């Protein structure tokens, strides 16, 4: 399945911009972490942009331009990058069954995740996401895998747009213990969780394994609060998905989620647990 010309050109532009940013950063003698601390964007975002995996937002380009002394060169291409992004969005890269949720997620003012098997897609690293898609049955072809990895990473722009959506996440401790992709991939994912969990609009909690009879025994789900619309619940089973729109059913999910959060470790304790598990890998 060949990619449309517009999307191919957009991908080439992102990779070109990424190479320019990397060259400017290295010329300034900065590591990705040092640039991250300088401009206030995550190290993972900088890495993804430099590899052409993420679409750089105008605010990001302006911050990098100022920090690296690019003389307005990056600011000058903001319009081109935005136009290429908008053209590429004309083709949905998510599987059909996921597209309604993806649209609501983009419009959300608040999102709540309860996950029992894997890290939610919105918080996954590139390698973690690719490992999951490679393991899928029936097998996906290489092009589809890369397309879906890119689409999953692009969703993370939700965490950076203004106004910032409030994001709460409760992970079953089993999610942190399962070494998806091996120790290196899992360590990278745990480091990503620590970075995202430190964002001021994100609260990350862990539900410990030794909690007996918690409120989330019936499985994972997501609560979405789209701007100007009633809240919606969302669940997945293999390649099937369901949006829950009935107000009474959504209220049940919201009450259940409140109980799960109350039973989980506090954010500071959760971060300490994630950091300890990261150190053990």
- Residue 230's pLDDT is 93
Domains and CATH numbers, the chain: 5-88 (1.10.260.40), 96-280 (3.30.870)
Rg of the chain over Cα atoms, rounded to whole angstroms, equals: 19
- Residue 248's pLDDT is 97
State CA 90 to chain mean position distance.
21
| Residue-wise pLDDT tens digits, 217-228 | 999 999 999 988
Instruction: With cut-offs at 50, 70 and 90, classify the pLDDT of residue 154.
Output: confident
Instruction: With cut-offs at 50, 70 and 90, classify the pLDDT of residue 80.
Output: confident
| Residue-wise pLDDT tens digits, 26-77 | 999 999 999 999 999 888 889 888 988 777 888 889 999 999 999 999 988 8
Residue 211 has pLDDT above 90, yes or no: no
- Residue 88's pLDDT is 54
Q: What are the angstrom distances between the C-alpha of 82 and each of 10, 58, 85? A: 10, 8, 5
- Residue 90's pLDDT is 43
Q: From CA 122, how far away is CA 171, in angstroms rounded?
A: 13
């Amino acid at each position: 399945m060949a990619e449309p010309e517009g999307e191919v050109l957009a991908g080439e532009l992102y990779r070109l911009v990424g190479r320019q940013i990397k060259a400017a950063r290295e010329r300034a003698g900065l590591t990705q972490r040092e640039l991250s601390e300088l401009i206030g964007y995550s190290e993972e975002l900088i890495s993804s942009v430099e590899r052409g995996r993420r679409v750089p937002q105008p605010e990001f380009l302006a911050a990098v331009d100022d920090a690296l002394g690019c003389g307005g060169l990056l600011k000058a291409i903001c319009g081109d990058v935005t136009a290429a992004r908008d053209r590429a969005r004309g083709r949905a890269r998510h599987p059909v069954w996921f597209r309604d949720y993806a649209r609501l997620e983009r419009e959300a003012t608040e999102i709540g995740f309860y996950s029992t098997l894997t890290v939610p897609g919105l918080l996954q690293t590139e390698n973690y996401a690719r490992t999951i898609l490679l393991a899928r049955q029936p097998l996906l072809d290489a092009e589809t895998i890369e397309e879906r990895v890119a689409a999953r990473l692009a969703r993370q722009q939700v965490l950076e747009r203004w106004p910032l959506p409030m994001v709460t996440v409760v992970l079953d401790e089993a999610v942190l213990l399962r070494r998806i992709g091996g120790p290196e991939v899992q360590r990278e994912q745990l480091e990503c969780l620590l970075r995202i969990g430190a964002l001021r609009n994100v609260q990350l909690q862990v539900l410990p394994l030794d909690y007996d009879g918690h409120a989330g025994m019936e499985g994972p789900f997501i609560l979405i609060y789209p701007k100007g619309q009633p809240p919606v619940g969302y669940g997945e089973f293999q390649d099937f998905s369901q949006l829950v729109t009935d107000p009474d059913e959504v209220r049940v999910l919201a009450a259940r989620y409140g109980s799960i959060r109350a039973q989980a470790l506090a954010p500071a304790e959760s971060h300490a647990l994630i950091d300890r598990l990261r150190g053990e890998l």
